[in-house]
Structure formats: C-alpha cells, structure tokens
Amino acid sequence: KYPQMDLEYTFWQMVYLCLDPKRVYKNTSYHKQTKNQWARDDPAFTVLCVCFLFVAAVAYAVAFRVSPGLFLRAVGGAVLIDFALTGVIVSSVTWAVANRYLRVSSMHGVEQEVEW
C-alpha cells in the first residue's frame, strides 16, 4: 500500500531483533556490503514504533481509566519525549563517539563514517 515503506521486512526485523539478533545483524551486514549503507532507506521502522507506542498509551488509558486530557498527555509524552527526544540525544552522543573513536582508516578502503 505504501511503496516507500517495506512493512513486511520491518515486522521481520522487529521480531528477529527479539528472537535472533545475530540473524538481523547478518542481514544488515549484507545490506552494508551491497549498498555501502547501514541505515534503512524507508521510515517504516520508526512509523511502526510510534504506532506501537500509541497502542501502549491506549492500553494504559483503558486500564487506568484516565481522562482524555491525561490520555493525550500520555501519548504525547511517550512519542515526543520517550521516543523522539531520548532517541535524538542517544543517537547524537553515540554518533559523535563512533565517528571520533571507533572509525578505522585504511589506505585501500572507502572512507567510512557513521551516519546520523
């Protein structure tokens, strides 16, 4: 339905990140070798994570019978603070550390840099 998002592969990745992370790493490593890029091209993983956070917030609101205002606050807090803000902070710090201390330079290889 959404040609820019590979939802089937994304679900596969989410399941196997819990069950067999080594398998996901091998698949991602193959992607790196063929396309010279670690990152995914589509936003499907992020979209599904936000959807799951929304479902969790709905379950919280139903279980604790909260008001609509508190429900919106729970959804906003889960998506904006817990997911987006924390993700940006952790990504920025680990990106800086990886590019500063973990890169290996080689005369015969392509210049490598961790994408943010």
Place of tokens 């396309």: 35
CA count, 13 A, side-chain hemisphere, 112: 18
DSSP for residue 3? T
Cα–Cα distance for residue pair 46/19, rounded to 1 Å? 20
Cα–Cα distance for residue pair 112/104, rounded to 1 Å? 8
- pLDDT of 38 above 80: no
What was the pLDDT predicted at 15? 94
Q: Binning pLDDT at 50, 70 and 90, where does residue 32 land?
A: confident
pTM for the full predicted model: 0.71
CA count, 13 A, side-chain hemisphere, 33: 6
- pLDDT of 41 above 80: no
What was the pLDDT predicted at 74? 85
